[in-house]
Structure 1
Amino acid sequence: MFGESNFRLVGSGLSCPEGPVVEDDGSVLVCEVRGAALVRVSPGGSRTVVANLPSGANGAAIGPDGAAYVATNGSFTFADVEGITHITGLIEDWVGGALYRVDRTTGEVRELFTESEGQHLGSLNDVVFDADGGAYIADTTSGLLHYAVPAERRIGVAVSDVVTPNGVGLSPDGSRLYVSETFTGRLRTFEVVGPGKLLPLPDVFQHPAAAQDDTEGIDLQQSKQFWDGLAVDGEGNLVVADLASSGVRVVSPLGAELAFFETPERDPYVTCVAFGGPDGRTAYVTSGGRGRLYAIDNWPFEGGRVNFQP
């Protein structure tokens, strides 16, 4: 199951979009990495700003109170080359990202966390809530997964032995947490033994183009990039944004490659996936380098849904 024919353009003119979140009316909240904003793309494709953030918005999820929880990266530098926005590095005075609560109606922004266990948060990425109201947050530059409980103003490190974690997603029953590592090409698996408590399991998959060499000492500016964000559909399949191949790769929880969908125009920054629609069978895909939001209609597997999705 390979091809590009399923992609439908929903919105364009976005400022390096990532971290889509689907609302109940069919609108999609999108994080703008370059625009440093949380924006709403209507079903008709119009863009409105929900909230401006102090630095680049990378990942978001809706929490148990209905607010959007947005992870920021501390700001990158960019270059535009042949119609594609490229991330070229961290800004000179970079100090790290933070987690914010954004009221989806009023746009009110409240800073929640800038540190975890006494260490400043790094460049944050995907966010996923468990059924208990806690959120797993990927910290790409620090190589950590944090577990935050916003209602209790509590955050801590859940896992420290990850390399450039980017996407995070939970299995439909909440028993497994999946993590995509950008610069190793690994799809990591952890058993969830309690809120914020994880035990490592064997990797579920590795990107077919990833080199099988030692990943220690990775240079964030030089390494080839394989994965970005991920989602999990209703069958438990991992749906991963594939930077190296400009599309979305589907991997079963047992590690079998099931499908690949290539974007209509090549983009080395296909950044994230989220499910929506009445039956969860519309997959929304952010094409960050080209500033587009696509939809894949009639998802060929069971539809996906995350905790607290409206």
Structure 2
Amino acid sequence: MSNSSIYEIHDPRFRHLVVGSAALDQLYSDCRWAEGPVWFADLNCLIFSDIPNERMLRYSQDGEVSVFRPRSDFTNGNTRDNQGRLISCQHGARRLVRTEIDGTITVLADSYQGMRLNSPNDVVVKSDDTIWFTDPSYGIMSNYEGYKAEPEQATCNVYRLDPASGKLTVVASDFGQPNGLAFSPDESKLYIADSAHSHDPNWPAHIRSFDVRADGTLTGGDELCVTDKGLPDGFRIDSTGNIWSSAGDGVHCFSPEGELLGKILVPQTVSNVTFGGPRRNRLFITATKSLYAVYMATSGAKFC
């Protein structure tokens, strides 16, 4: 898509975050529902999920796309831990897993208080190595992105996992469908999307902001911002704290105070984003059937 048609400016600050001459590049277009992009700087490639096709794909900087994992167990969200290992949310097996350096898979969490998780969805890792993930019920609603089943958990929770001890803790339980999440650059705040509006119009399509205490608990949780088109699904934070969120008409950029600064318009419904490239200044966008990318004037936060 030409650069002249992809930007919608709502605040002058947005002009300093995007490259006016940069075009939206469509890199791949053979998915059923693309999700979970994560950048591997050491391998110069992007890994992302194609959930209904039950596979994970690899995009390399030379433009080639190949199958990274042909049987992904309906993996959705992905990230890397501080040791560079891949952390993934599997809808099918209803678990959070880690891919070790030798390729073997370690199960990090699949139950809470003796009952199976719903369907882990998105995940981030904090600088202290703790792993935070959301657990909505999307993967057990039907056989399209997982296996249809009755939920065993009473609520759709946000969890904190200490991989050293294996302790799993509920940090938030008042969401309809917790979805994307990301820390502010200084990790003092955790932003979490609620996408329950997808199945219940009485729920707002918004991102909430929590304060992160030293002991790993959360306080606050007020609404920070609302997407005016579609839902907030996955999102990431840039180095100055702006939020780049998926939405129905593209990527919405919000200030740390929740003000809509502008949009990157995308032809397909966006599911998630991540910053990548050698300078972390390329925004990779998963959107329905496709993987897109656009060069930015800002770069991703260290933990994004």
Same fold, TM-score > 0.5, yes or no: yes
Structure 1 unaligned runs (5+)?
75-95, 210-224
2:48 maps to which of 20, 24, 30: 30
| Structure 1 Cα separation of the partners of residues 170 and 77 of structure 2 | 18
2:253 pairs with 1:257: no
Matching residue of 1:140: 136
| Structure 2 Cα separation of the partners of residues 111 and 102 of structure 1 | 9
| Structure 1 Cα separation of the partners of residues 181 and 243 of structure 2 | 10
CA contact (8 A) 1:125 1:137 kept: yes
SS of corresponding position for 2:174: coil
Report how far residue 43 of structure 1 moved: 1.5
CA contact (8 A) 2:239 2:300 kept: yes
Report how far residue 12 of structure 1 moved: 3.1
1:197 maps to which of 217, 235, 238: 217
2:110 pairs with 1:114: yes
2:126 maps to which of 125, 130, 134: 130
| Structure 1 Cα separation of the partners of residues 34 and 74 of structure 2 | 10
Cα distance 1:137–1:306, how it changes in 2: closer, same or farther (>3 A)? farther
CA contact (8 A) 1:250 1:257 kept: yes
Matching residue of 1:272: 272
Report how far residue 202 of structure 1 moved: 2.4
User: How many residue pairs align between the two structures?
Assistant: 262
| Structure 2 Cα separation of the partners of residues 261 and 168 of structure 1 | 20
Report how far residue 33 of structure 1 moved: 0.9
Report how far residue 276 of structure 1 moved: 1.3
| Structure 2 Cα separation of the partners of residues 121 and 195 of structure 1 | 24
Matching residue of 1:69: 87
2:239 pairs with 1:238: no
Report how far residue 54 of structure 1 moved: 5.6
TM-score by length of 2: 0.79
| Structure 1 Cα separation of the partners of residues 98 and 103 of structure 2 | 9
| Structure 2 Cα separation of the partners of residues 73 and 163 of structure 1 | 17
Structure 2 unaligned runs (5+)?
1-6, 10-19, 138-154, 198-203
Q: What amino acid sits opposite 2:35 in the alignment?
A: E
SS of corresponding position for 2:122: strand
Q: Deviations over 1:121-157 (max 9, x none)?
A: 1122110111100111011224210111234322221
Q: Deviations over 1:48-98 (max 9, x none)?
A: 333355621111111122210100123xxxxxxxxxxxxxxxxxxxxx611
Report how far residue 166 of structure 1 moved: 0.9
| Structure 2 Cα separation of the partners of residues 296 and 194 of structure 1 | 36
Cα distance 1:115–1:255, how it changes in 2: closer, same or farther (>3 A)? same
Report how far residue 14 of structure 1 moved: 3.5
Matching residue of 1:293: 291
2:232 pairs with 1:227: yes
**Superposed structure 1 runs of 4+ greater than 6 Å apart:** none
TM-score by length of 1: 0.78
Matching residue of 1:14: 31
Cα distance 1:276–1:54, how it changes in 2: closer, same or farther (>3 A)? closer
Cα distance 1:306–1:20, how it changes in 2: closer, same or farther (>3 A)? farther
Matching residue of 1:284: 284
| Structure 1 Cα separation of the partners of residues 67 and 98 of structure 2 | 15
Report how far residue 193 of structure 1 moved: 0.5
Identity of aligned residues (%): 26
